[in-house]
């Protein structure tokens, strides 16, 4: 029932055919290329009509956009890492000599960091590929209206989720000011080399919502291993929740919970496994079918992979997250973490070879529904049932049936912190809580709205448009 991207070695041959044109699209969109370079077609480049000759070619190009999502610098690991580094999920004293990681942890990033350059460029590679498909799929003579509608929906879904994440990383959060006039990102809504200026965060969110709503209408309820209408609805719930628009967040989350046919896994660890043990609650996810061949989601596992020669890992979990989960009886404390002598390692992603990277799942939808209902002060019995289902699955005692809105909000936030650890949640969630009303909130000692808690636009983006305004630096001390 769920939508998961299955990658395999055989598909790589078709993707190699598309690599040249996609590389050029990235240069045209993101790099400081001269007009002369763009006008001169390198001998090795293929024209669109040489690539798109059939529906199979269109699907291969679309698969390339999905493939880009799994890149280690995108959803394959780096988004999650930066969210925890800049928030409170990583043991900063054990980061070693990685200068980029240290810069994010200390909120002293600049425009030359490899982390933000690759995050930005590799993320928008997925958008460039989706926009390429939107522009040129008409060249396939055997594509029918049903296929066209579905493919448009998938492209808009991919474009929307990247624009959403890039806006969250490179702009101040929604709710930063009343108009949300703070600068976000320069949106990429068409394939080509047009220079685009930064839009406001409000404009970015409007574009994301528009794409997702159109995707809901264009995508089927079931779409094999790719994005379907339930994935688009689940992302709308995420977006509206980030906006603290609780009525819309509830509407979409409730629809997914009630009508998608999915159910919460009895085992909280199933979300990260593939094969016969695969989860039944993933709404949209990215799966590596062979860790040694497809290289999908490699960084997520690599960050916590133990070096058997010295028993160290690249990333250690913070005391903050371990203290949160270290409640008597919480099964996640020993299932997802190991801790000795004040040193905590995350074992949540310690899955051999076949691994699932769930981008949105039913647990998150239930947590959104709990907090949204509590904020609206409606149907609290449903909210209590949802939070108790998650707590009891983890071995914890249920909340009382007379629990009020404040307690439900507190419990939902606590469970979100644990359940979505290292799932690109924490930084954005703390900022959301601040814009909801806690304007004095500190994120590891720094004001939630200080410039250093926003990523710097990379030099490659700024060189591509010298008139583009960069983000302020520092200011978090």
Q: Which residue has the tokens 């999920």?
A: 89
Cβ neighbours of 379 (radius 10 Å): 15
How big, in percent rounded to 5, are the helix, strand and coil portions of the chain? 55, 10, 40
3-state secondary structure of 347: coil
| Cα separation, 217 vs 252, whole angstroms | 14
Q: Which helix (H) or strand (E) holds 29?
A: helix 11-30
Q: What is the pLDDT of residue 287?
A: 77
* DSSP letter assigned to residue 355: E
* DSSP letter assigned to residue 397: P
| Cα separation, 356 vs 259, whole angstroms | 23
Q: What is the pLDDT of residue 12?
A: 39
pLDDT digit of tens for each residue in the chain (477 aa)? Answer: 455 554 442 343 344 344 434 443 443 344 333 333 333 444 557 889 889 999 999 999 999 999 999 999 999 999 999 999 999 999 999 998 899 999 999 999 999 999 999 999 999 999 999 999 999 999 999 999 999 999 999 999 999 999 999 999 999 999 999 999 999 999 999 998 888 999 999 999 999 999 999 999 999 999 988 999 999 999 999 999 999 999 999 999 999 999 999 999 999 988 887 655 678 899 999 877 665 666 677 788 889 888 878 888 999 999 999 999 998 899 999 999 999 888 999 999 887 666 778 999 999 999 999 999 999 999 999 999 999 999 999 999 999 999 999 999 999 999 999 999 999 999 999 999 999 999 999 999 999 999 999 999 999 999 989 899 999 987 887
Opening angle at CA 424, ends 96 and 152, nearest 5: 135
Query: Given its phi and psi angles, is residue 261 left (phi above 0), alpha (psi -120 to 50 degrees) or beta?
Result: left
Q: How far is CA 376 from CA 1, 250, 381, 424, in A?
A: 31, 9, 13, 26
Q: How many CA atoms lie within 13 A of 381 on its CB side?
A: 0
| Cα separation, 302 vs 89, whole angstroms | 16
User: What's the length of the chain?
Assistant: 477
Q: What is the pLDDT of residue 44?
A: 54
Report the Cα 177 to chain-centroid distance in Å: 24
Does residue 334 fall inside a structural domain? no
**Residue-range definition of the domain harbouring residue 147:** 3-290+356-453
Q: Which of 330, 302, 317, 336 is nearest to 426 (CA)?
A: 317
Q: Are strands 282-288 and 3-7 parallel, antiparallel or unpaired?
A: parallel
3-state secondary structure of 86: helix
Contacts of 419 (CB under 8 A, 6+ apart): 268, 363, 364, 367, 390
- The token duo for 384 is 């209590």
C-alpha dihedral over 78, 82, 88, 94, to 10 degrees?
70
Does residue 461 fall inside a structural domain? no
| Cα separation, 117 vs 439, whole angstroms | 30
| Cα separation, 374 vs 386, whole angstroms | 12
Q: What is the pLDDT of residue 23?
A: 42
pTM for the full predicted model: 0.92
Cβ neighbours of 259 (radius 10 Å): 11
Q: What is the pLDDT of residue 16?
A: 38
- The token duo for 231 is 């994935």
Q: What is the pLDDT of residue 38?
A: 34
Per the structure, how many domains does the chain have? 1
| Cα separation, 353 vs 295, whole angstroms | 10
Q: Which of 102, 63, 74 is nearest to 86 (CA)?
A: 102
Cβ neighbours of 220 (radius 10 Å): 15
The CATH number for 55's domain is: 1.25.40.390
Dihedral sign for Cα 119, 455, 236, 368, please.
positive
Contacts 24+ apart (CB under 8 A), 318-322: 318/84, 318/88, 318/89, 318/90, 318/91, 318/92, 318/344, 319/91, 319/344, 320/88, 320/89, 321/88, 321/89, 321/417, 321/418, 321/421
* DSSP letter assigned to residue 307: B
Q: How many helices (H) and strands (E) does the chain have?
A: 20, 7
| Cα separation, 203 vs 223, whole angstroms | 30
Q: What is the pLDDT of residue 307?
A: 80
| Cα separation, 10 vs 67, whole angstroms | 13
Does residue 459 fall inside a structural domain? no
């Amino acid at each position: 029932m769920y939508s998961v991207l299955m990658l395999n070695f055989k598909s790589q041959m078709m993707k190699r055919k598309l690599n040249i044109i996609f590389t050029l699209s990235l240069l045209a969109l993101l790099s400081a290329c001269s007009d002369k370079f763009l006008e001169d077609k390198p001998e090795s480049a293929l024209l669109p009509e040489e690539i798109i000759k059939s529906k199979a070619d269109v699907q291969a190009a679309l698969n390339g956009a999905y493939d880009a999502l799994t890149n280690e610098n995108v959803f394959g690991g780096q988004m999650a890492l930066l969210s925890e580094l800049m928030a409170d999920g990583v043991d900063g004293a054990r980061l070693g000599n990685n200068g980029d990681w240290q810069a994010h942890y200390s909120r002293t990033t600049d425009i030359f960091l490899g982390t933000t350059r690759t995050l930005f460029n590799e993320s928008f590679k997925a958008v460039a590929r989706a926009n390429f498909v939107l522009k040129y799929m008409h060249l396939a003579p055997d594509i029918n209206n049903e296929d066209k509608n579905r493919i448009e929906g998938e492209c808009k879904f991919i474009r929307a989720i990247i624009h959403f994440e890039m806006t969250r990383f490179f702009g101040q959060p929604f709710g930063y000011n009343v108009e949300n006039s703070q600068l976000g990102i320069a949106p990429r809504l068409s394939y080509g080399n047009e220079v685009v200026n930064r839009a406001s965060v409000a404009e970015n969110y409007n574009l994301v919502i528009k794409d997702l709503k159109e995707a809901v209408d264009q995508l089927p309820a079931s779409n094999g291993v790719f994005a379907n209408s339930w994935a688009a609805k689940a992302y709308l719930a995420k977006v509206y929740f980030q906006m603290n628009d609780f009525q819309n967040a509830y509407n979409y989350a409730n629809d997914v919970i009630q009508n998608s046919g999915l159910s919460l896994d009895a085992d909280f660890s199933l979300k990260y496994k593939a094969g016969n043990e695969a989860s039944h609650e993933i709404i949209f996810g990215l799966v590596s079918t062979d860790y040694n061949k497809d290289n999908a989601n490699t960084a997520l596992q690599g960050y916590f992979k133990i070096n058997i020669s010295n028993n160290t890992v690249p990333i250690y979990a913070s005391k903050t997250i371990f203290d949160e989960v270290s409640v008597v009886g919480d099964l996640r404390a020993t299932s997802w973490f190991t801790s000795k002598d004040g040193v905590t390692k995350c074992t949540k992603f310690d899955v051999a070879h076949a691994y699932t990277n769930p981008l949105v799942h039913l647990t998150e939808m239930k947590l959104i529904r709990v907090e949204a209902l509590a904020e609206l002060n409606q149907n609290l019995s449903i909210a209590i049932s949802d939070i108790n289902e998650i707590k009891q699955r983890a071995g914890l005692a249920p909340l009382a049936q007379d629990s009020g809105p404040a307690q439900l909000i507190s419990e939902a936030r606590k469970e979100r912190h644990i359940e979505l650890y290292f799932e690109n949640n924490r930084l954005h969630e703390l900022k959301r809580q601040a814009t909801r009303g806690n304007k004095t909130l500190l994120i590891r000692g720094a004001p939630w709205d200080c410039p250093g808690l926003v990523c710097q636009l990379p030099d490659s983006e700024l060189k591509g448009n010298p008139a583009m305004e960069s983000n302020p630096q520092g200011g978090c001390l």
